[in-house]
Structure 1
Amino acid sequence: MKSETRKKLKMGYINADMTLKEVQKDYTQESVSNNPRPLGPYYTYNDRYLEIRGGMFENFRGILTWISLLVFLIPFHVFYIGLSVISELIDHESNDIVSDIVVLIYCIIVFIVSMYLIIRYFRYIYRFELFTIRHIRVRFNRVTRQVYIQRPKYCGGTVVFKWEHIMPSNFGESGSDMNGTNMVNLMTFHPYKTGFPVAHSVGIGKNTYNAQDYKDEWEFIRRYMEHGPDNLPKPRLSTHLPIPFHGLEGHIKPMIHAAKNAPTFWMYILLIPVFLILLPFYTVGYFISECLCWQPRWPKVIRQAGKKGKPIPKETTLSDYPPKVQQAILESRLEWGVRDEKTGKWVDYGNS
């Protein structure tokens, strides 16, 4: 965010500082679970790399799809009315030409204005679920010892980081046990390690209410990267294609959780019709969202990474972005301070 925008919105810098001990630690060497489990969904798993779904709030997907489709109905509806009026005028079927011309002008104005507002402003809303990448993907390549995150260009694009720089954020030194939060497994690449002015974070896998799930899946990925796929359970692979029931699990779990924690029996009974209405609503919206998105290929250098004789992908740096974006990133670097827990002072690691 640019400093001018911060001033207009009267926003300061978020105090997201971490301790020196937290950012210096190599989290890839510490075991956090005796039960490594691939919760997924995983798209690819072989001796060279594994690939898991990234992103957050997949369990809410579907609401914005329906809202967006209703908004899109406005220009399409007036466009249809305008075509009907033009057809009547051409075929000389109109009884009141003046009224038809007024209606046609009205339709043209509403169509132009609504399309402008949708393209200029509403696209920042509907592109969360429509006309964008179907699912963000994260690829862990054990040969190159790198992590690749595939994102839309307007969200930073595809980035490359060292495996050793990854920091689990839901537990351990860099976070707290997020039990009962229904969050995905969060991973962070802090600027102290990467040299990038700001942190890059990504959520992987499914939402869960069980804090142990975070540790089990992280341990599965950690052992895969450090020791290979031997002695690890093989994950069930999912498909990139849109499937009508993909959204069912993500939406039904929060509802079941709400039912289990209902304070009274009557509240439990009242939740049943809500489930019967909302569950199909969410699931169908999720499926429509998948159908109206696409799954792009990785860049060639990432597809071939780890093969004999093929180049290793370059790690992401500030220079990979346009000048205006670089400036905005530099103006946000103050959010990522590091504090020495012994002295209580800020650590100057070239990011201030």
Structure 2
Amino acid sequence: MYIGEYLFWLSSAIKASSRKKMKMGYFNGDMTLSEVEKDYTKQSVSNNPRPIGPYYAYNDRYLEIRGGMFENFRGILTWLCLLFFFFSFSACYAAIAFTLDIYNHKTIQISSTIFAIVFFSIIFLFSLYLLIRYFRYVYRLELFTIRHIRVRFNRVTQQVYIQRPKYCGGTVVFKWQHIMPANFGESGSDMGGTNMVNLLSFHPYKTGFPVAHSVGIGKNTYCAQDYKDEWEFIRRYMEHSPDNLAKPRLSTHLPLPLHGLGGHIKPMLKMVKNSKSVLVTMMMLPVFVILLPLYTAGYFISECLCWQPRWPKVIRQAGKAGKPTPKETQLSDYPPAVQQAILDSRLEWGVRDDKTGKLVDYGNS
């Protein structure tokens, strides 16, 4: 579920030595000067602002929407992780069962039972080591982590707060004026038909942070206009007021069995709709009957095995009379090793002059 956020943060915060071992190169994220100088919060992109959501909060002070990419694939990794857990703890159960057989004198084949105890104990201990040492980097993407990434837009402080797991960059704070839509307009391209969420970014040219931060918000969609409509809804809320906007239906943070149904069923319905072959449509029936319930159950299990943490107190109180404004995220907020890794990646975010094509020195080199 958080694989997109994890990979993006990893590409910006991985040590140079680790990058070399993994044979990871640096990418070119250069943008033009006109793209990064533009204030995207002032330009209207739609005449039909719509709250597509899901939204968790909406009032005169802030609105809060679900963040995160690849939410529609949530549940697949959960089943794979549970299968590994089942294998590991089945070995533990077998070792304990054989031990109790000897203790309760239920077996006369002592030597073979002792061999079985040793064999299953080794399997359990080895798999447990793999779980703790390596596999935690896999299962934490969907299990025993933050239930949902949340993005809060505070219209009083004119700030954007992003709540993410620490291994994806942690909670960050940026100015609203620094936000850049990435799915349309000058900073991106029309991504209609790609089944993506609405992507927003904060470029270092604006924020002063050495690398860019990006976050996906809302639901996956095949319609390019959905991106613009929801962005316009948020933009008008932040720039004007919520008075003339439709109040969104609020979702719960709690896990519900049907939360994952929409995210999985829409791509399948899209495939059936676009298919002109009856054979392909017939082949999709087993997917609906068998895989869809598995996906939905996996999504629900993932939600149940995660938790939704509270925002830091300074963010919860932001915008209230007499309360401090949260400080923007800075490089010094991270450990020294991560700071150095981020600095090593800062050259990826170059800005080029529109006329000459040469790199602009904006203090990031």
- Quickly name the TM-score band, shorter chain normalised: over 0.9
Query: Letter of the aligned partner of 1:59 in structure 2?
Result: N
Unaligned runs of 5+ in 2: 1-13
Partner of residue 204, structure 1:
217
- Picking from 11, 18, 35, the partner of 1:5 is 18
Q: Spell out, residue by residue over 1:288-343, the C-alpha distance to the aligned partner (whole angstroms, 9 max, x if none).
A: 00000000000000000000000000110000000011111111112111111111
Partner of residue 232, structure 1:
245
Give the deviation of 1:101 after TM superposition: 1.3
Note if 1:103 corresponds to 2:116.
Answer: yes
List aligned pairs for 1:151-230, cutoff 5 A: 151-230=164-243
Report if the CA contact (8 A) 2:67-2:215 is conserved: yes
Unaligned runs of 5+ in 1: none
Give the deviation of 1:5 after TM superposition: 2.5
Partner of residue 361, structure 2:
348
- Picking from 73, 78, 84, the partner of 2:91 is 78
TM-score by length of 2: 0.95
Total equivalences in the alignment: 352
Partner of residue 3, structure 2:
none
Partner of residue 318, structure 2:
305
Cα distance in 1, alignment partners of residues 300 and 21 from structure 2: 39
Query: Letter of the aligned partner of 1:251 in structure 2?
Result: H
Partner of residue 59, structure 1:
72
Partner of residue 148, structure 2:
135
Give the deviation of 1:23 after TM superposition: 0.4
Partner of residue 87, structure 1:
100
Partner of residue 315, structure 1:
328
Cα distance in 2, alignment partners of residues 84 and 108 from structure 1: 11
Cα distance in 1, alignment partners of residues 283 and 23 from structure 2: 43
Q: More displaced, 85-94 or 147-156?
A: 85-94
Q: 2:214 is paired with a residue of what secondary structure?
A: strand
Q: 1:259 is paired with a residue of what secondary structure?
A: helix
Partner of residue 116, structure 1:
129
Cα distance in 1, alignment partners of residues 285 and 196 from structure 2: 24
- Picking from 40, 49, 55, the partner of 1:42 is 55
Partner of residue 27, structure 1:
40
Give the deviation of 1:12 after TM superposition: 2.4
Cα distance in 2, alignment partners of residues 82 and 266 from structure 1: 49
Give the deviation of 1:90 after TM superposition: 1.3
Query: Letter of the aligned partner of 1:228 in structure 2?
Result: S
Report if the CA contact (8 A) 1:240-1:295 is conserved: yes
Cα distance in 1, alignment partners of residues 26 and 354 from structure 2: 21
Q: Spell out, residue by residue over 1:45-101, the C-alpha distance to the aligned partner (whole angstroms, 9 max, x if none).
A: 000000000001010001001000000012210111111111112112221111111
Report if the CA contact (8 A) 2:160-2:174 is conserved: yes
Give the aligned CA root-mean-square deviation in angstroms.
Answer: 0.9
Cα distance in 2, alignment partners of residues 53 and 259 from structure 1: 28
Q: More displaced, 79-88 or 23-32?
A: 79-88
Q: Spell out, residue by residue over 1:208-246, the C-alpha distance to the aligned partner (whole angstroms, 9 max, x if none).
A: 000000000000000000111010000000000000000
Cα distance in 1, alignment partners of residues 199 and 262 from structure 2: 20
- Picking from 254, 265, 273, the partner of 2:286 is 273
Cα distance in 1, alignment partners of residues 295 and 100 from structure 2: 39
Q: 2:358 is paired with a residue of what secondary structure?
A: coil
Cα distance in 1, alignment partners of residues 217 and 126 from structure 2: 39
Cα distance in 1, alignment partners of residues 136 and 17 from structure 2: 23
Q: More displaced, 80-89 or 44-53?
A: 80-89
Q: Spell out, residue by residue over 1:258-284, the C-alpha distance to the aligned partner (whole angstroms, 9 max, x if none).
A: 001113122222212222211111101
Query: Letter of the aligned partner of 1:81 in structure 2?
Result: A
Give the deviation of 1:121 after TM superposition: 1.1
Q: Spell out, residue by residue over 1:120-148, the C-alpha distance to the aligned partner (whole angstroms, 9 max, x if none).
A: 11111111111100000000000000000
- Picking from 56, 81, 100, the partner of 1:68 is 81
Partner of residue 256, structure 1:
269
Report if the CA contact (8 A) 1:2-1:332 is conserved: no
Cα distance in 2, alignment partners of residues 275 and 341 from structure 1: 50
Report if the CA contact (8 A) 2:72-2:220 is conserved: yes
Q: 2:260 is paired with a residue of what secondary structure?
A: helix
Note if 1:247 corresponds to 2:270.
Answer: no
Partner of residue 333, structure 1:
346
Cα distance in 2, alignment partners of residues 269 and 104 from structure 1: 49
Cα distance in 2, alignment partners of residues 125 and 263 from structure 1: 38
Report if the CA contact (8 A) 2:15-2:337 is conserved: no
Cα distance in 2, alignment partners of residues 166 and 13 from structure 1: 24
Cα distance in 1, alignment partners of residues 336 and 24 from structure 2: 23
Query: Letter of the aligned partner of 1:212 in structure 2?
Result: Q
Cα distance in 2, alignment partners of residues 244 and 11 from structure 1: 39
TM-score by length of 1: 0.98
